Amino acid sequence: MEDKNKYSSIHDDRVIAKTKTALEGRGVEVFIAENKGEALEKIKELIPREVSVMNGSSKTLEEVGYIDYLKSGNHGWNNLHAAIVAEQDKVKQANLRKQALLADYYLGSVHALVENGEFVVASNTGSQLPHIVFSSPNLILVVGTQKIVPTLQEAMERLEKYVVPLEDESLRKKFGVGTQLNKIVIFKGENQRLGRKVRMILVKEKLGF
């Protein structure tokens, strides 16, 4: 595993501002949150009532309090993830997952964010990737600024040498089964003609791996 300090330190305001500007140039709307509490309040502000929401498994979303807030039911959203988890019939559950690809809002995070505005998201199964690249019209990514790196090469190194080993270790402790690095998306920009809204909340705290 790579040196933790190399990939777990919060960057200064200059690097954060540079990354924000680069993201905006790639069609991503960016918000800066000083802490996880501000990040959660921004999420609440961005998502209107009576829309459908879906999220992937995310330590970041857990840490900002989004998962607990979602489970509370005090938001007026249609929680598609809860319906999927509650369904015991495997065929019906699979159909619900397919339908959830059209969620009004999808929330997640990234594994590495480059100062030039590119970011990397990886997956074992690929279940969250359609939302991120196309299917959900509103994408909200919550990112701790320790995930910022200078180059795409270092983003890939962060993913392979730092994130995956940590996620594998965490999953083995929780479920007895680890993860695999099977599918990777390198997000370089959003085509504005599609009409999607891609938003990122950069949080000045260490969140996720």
| CATH number of the structural domain spanning residue 51 | 3.40.50.10420
Residue range(s) defining the domain that contains residue 177: 4-203
208 occurs within a structural domain: no
CA distance 163 to 151: 16
pLDDT at 121 over 80: yes
Q: What local confidence, expressed as pLDDT, does residue 4 receive?
A: 63
pTM: 0.94
CA distances from 4 to 9, 145, 146 (A): 8, 14, 11
Q: Could you give the number of structural domains in the chain?
A: 1
CA distance 62 to 39: 12
59 occurs within a structural domain: yes
81 occurs within a structural domain: yes
189 occurs within a structural domain: yes
Query: For residue range 122-155, what is the model confidence (pLDDT) as tens digits?
Result: 999 999 999 999 999 999 999 999 999 999 999 9
209 occurs within a structural domain: no
125 occurs within a structural domain: yes
